[in-house]
Structure formats: C-alpha cells, structure tokens
Amino acid sequence: MHSFKAPPMKRADVRQLALKLRRELGMADRLWFPILEFAELALPQMDKNYSFEVVESSELGSSHGLTERIDNQITIKIRDDIYDRAYRDEGRDRGTVAHEVGHYLMHAKSPALHRHFGNSLRSFEDPEWQAKCFQGELLVPKHLVMHMSVSDVERLCGVSRDAAEYQLQLYRAGK
C-alpha cells in the first residue's frame, strides 16, 4: 500500500490560498461562495486545459468526485447525484465540489505529488487532508464568521451543519 505525498501546506497556507482566490474573484467579503458556478463556468475561462464533467455513478462508483489529469488536461468529474444536490445548494455536496477544486488548485497542476511508502503521512503533506482543509477554508471564511452561530454559518455559507461546527470550533480554538 502507498499513498501520495504532496508538498507541505499547513492550514495557514491553505487559508491564504482560499483567501487569494476569493480576492481575485472579488468575493473576499461574501459569505456565500458560488462554488458550482466557479467550477463550471469561471475555471474553464481561466484555464483552457480544464474542464468540468458530470458523470454517472457507474463511472465513479463510490467516489463522489474526482480530479483527473491526463497529459496537460485536467478534469473535475462530479457524480450525478452529488451534482444535483450541489445544484440545489446542499451544503455537503457543495463541499464535495469545493474539495475537488482544492485538488485542482493544489495538486492536479503540480507534478510534485509522489508515492509515499511506509509510515502514515503527516496531515499537512497529505493531499486528502489539504483538499478537505481547503473546502472548509473556502466555504467558511474565518475573517467573516468568528461571531456567527453554527446555524447562520450553515445557512449563509451553504455548508453542512457538521462542517459549520467543525470550522467554528477550529477558528475559536485559535487555529
């Protein structure tokens, strides 16, 4: 068994990346990030080698999404049921799309992922941890939510209750 090791990125680095993206899009001060519009409409304009697809579960199986790189072509594939729910603004499924966008930004373009054998990875070198961290940081911007309730974060940022609780706990613990 092996996993993939990514160049190290701690939460602070991932937060900076998410904030940089929001700033570039003029969305630094908005609670709601239109993640589907970004992945489907904006990203293809910014990167001609990128595309977005919705695929049937027969193709993705138990995976909710996948970021695939073939030569220089990068594709985010989202399973059809997840896509439908993300379209209806379900927090958990918006999170899945944001997770794949994280893989696109941090891993798919970088040739530096390499196989890692042996001990378990440290979290800040684990691409899965980095993408999970990115989805939380992008959808729940720390600088806007510190004094908000879990329910308000859930509703206004469009994330699951679990995600809202998790991010707020982190932020309030000074992370």
Q: How far apart are CA 32 and CA 14, in angstroms?
A: 19
Q: How far apart are CA 147 and CA 150, in angstroms?
A: 10
Footprint on residues 5-64 left by another protein (CB under 8 A): 36-37, 40-41, 44-45, 51-56
Q: Where are the beta strands (DSSP E) in 59-163?
A: 65-70, 73-79, 114-116
When the beta carbons of 80 and 152 are compared against another protein, the nearer one is 80
26: burial class by Cβ within 10 Å (0-12, 13-18, 19+)?
exposed
Task: Select the span of 18-26, 76-84, 115-123, 134-142 touching another protein (CB under 8 A).
Answer: 76-84
- CB of residue 137 vs another protein: minimum separation in angstroms? 24
Q: How many residues bind another protein (CB under 8 A)?
A: 17
Q: Which residues bind another protein (CB under 8 A)?
A: 36-37, 40-41, 44-45, 51-56, 73, 80, 83-84, 87
